[in-house]
A = this chain, B = another copy of it.
């Protein structure tokens, strides 16, 4: 009986792909075993549990998304940076719905603290550098931006914007313009 060459990394990667293909909740230890043509129990040498698998997928997605956002932000400021951030977020969700869903999984406190989630928070704050907001307004703005981006992407993915004639892309651009105007009007206040 030849070995399949399983590792936590390969399993995570396969799980990530599976999530985009069939949805995060269809990513199961059993489905993964089928994909590798291996018995389910064999995966437990590499994964602590089904929860462990999900967590690894979430961490992978957070990291990948943070990398993309960082690349998109490089060398940009002000509205450019705002749009780059939002677009990176939205594009990732559209290209990789399963990964995006995984990135929203609730992690326990210590795992979250060690995750790329921290980079996300830092980058959101970095966008605001161009707008010169004093504290605590800066924190308020970070929260509002996070809310808008996360909310918009979630609702759009859930199909919430597909029952009106108005193009979602237009609404997205209007939203980015509005946020920029809002932040500029708050600058230095």
Contact = CB atoms under 8 A, between A and B. Distances in A.
Given A151-B146, A151-B151, A136 B186 contact: no
Given A139-B166, A166-B139, A185-B181, A147 B148 contact: yes
Contacts of A174: 137, 140, 144
A8 to B, nearest CB: 25
Interface string A130-148: 0000011101100110111
A164 interface: yes
A161 interface: yes
A22 interface: no
Interface string A91-110: 00000000000001010000
Interface stretch (A13-21, A50-58, A61-69, A152-160): A152-160
Contacts of A147: 147-148, 151-152, 154-155, 175
Interface of A: 104, 106, 135-137, 139-140, 143-144, 146-152, 154-155, 158-161, 164, 166, 168, 170-171, 174-175, 178, 181-182, 185-186
Nearest 10 A/B pairs, CB to CB: A151-B151, A147-B151, A140-B174, A147-B152, A139-B166, A140-B171, A150-B151, A143-B171, A144-B175, A136-B166
